[in-house]
């Protein structure tokens, strides 16, 4: 019998032991067990290992005291709660982020546009600085007058 077929047969034997083999294969496994003492030996080995392991689950003991162990868990719970709370806190929306830079940019653009479209009045500054030239912008609709002194 080749190795692969032998392994398949052994796995079927194990499935039989665990009670999960298909109904169609049960008879084949039982026939193998009836004819081959090696199959019986393998089944017995798998069986006692399974029984021994299942009924003797290794035990463990937390190395820390009750108070210390609990304090560690409580701290981690508090940290996790803090992260959750921070994530749930309302943050500035994407719209607000856009508005934060859109408003000043729009303002500058508007001023530039108005400056381009409206006539500028040139004249001398009235501040007494005779060398300086001045420009005045007036918008009657906005009721604004801007004096620009160089």
Tell me which residues touch other proteins (CB under 8 A). Answer: 3, 7, 10-11, 14-15, 18, 20, 38, 41-42, 44-46, 48-50, 52-54, 56-64, 66, 69-70, 72-74, 76-77, 80
What span, in angstroms and rounded, lies between the C-alpha atoms of 10 and 3? 10
**Nearer residue to other proteins within complex by CB, 54 or 92:** 54
CB of 91 to other proteins, least distance (A): 22
What span, in angstroms and rounded, lies between the C-alpha atoms of 120 and 118? 6
**Nearer residue to other proteins within complex by CB, 71 or 145:** 71
CB of 1 to other proteins, least distance (A): 13
**Nearer residue to other proteins within complex by CB, 48 or 98:** 48
CB of 90 to other proteins, least distance (A): 22
CB of 72 to other proteins, least distance (A): 6
Q: Dihedral through CA 65, CA 71, CA 73, CA 75, nearest 10?
A: -160
**Nearer residue to other proteins within complex by CB, 12 or 147:** 12
């Amino acid at each position: 019998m080749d190795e692969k077929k032998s392994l398949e047969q052994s796995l079927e034997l194990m499935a039989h032991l665990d009670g999960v083999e298909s109904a169609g294969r049960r008879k084949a496994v039982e026939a193998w067990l009836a004819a081959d003492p090696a199959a019986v030996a393998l089944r017995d080995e798998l069986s006692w290992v399974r029984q021994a392991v299942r009924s003797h689950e290794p035990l463990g003991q937390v190395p820390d005291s009750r108070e210390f162990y609990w304090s560690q868990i409580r701290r981690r719970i508090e940290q996790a709660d803090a992260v959750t709370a921070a994530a749930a806190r309302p943050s500035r929306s994407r719209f607000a982020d856009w508005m934060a830079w859109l408003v000043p940019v729009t303002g500058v653009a508007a001023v530039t546009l108005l400056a381009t479209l409206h006539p500028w009045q040139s004249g001398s500054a009235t501040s007494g600085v005779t060398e300086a030239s001045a420009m005045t912008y007036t918008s009657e609709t906005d009721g604004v007058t801007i004096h620009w002194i160089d």
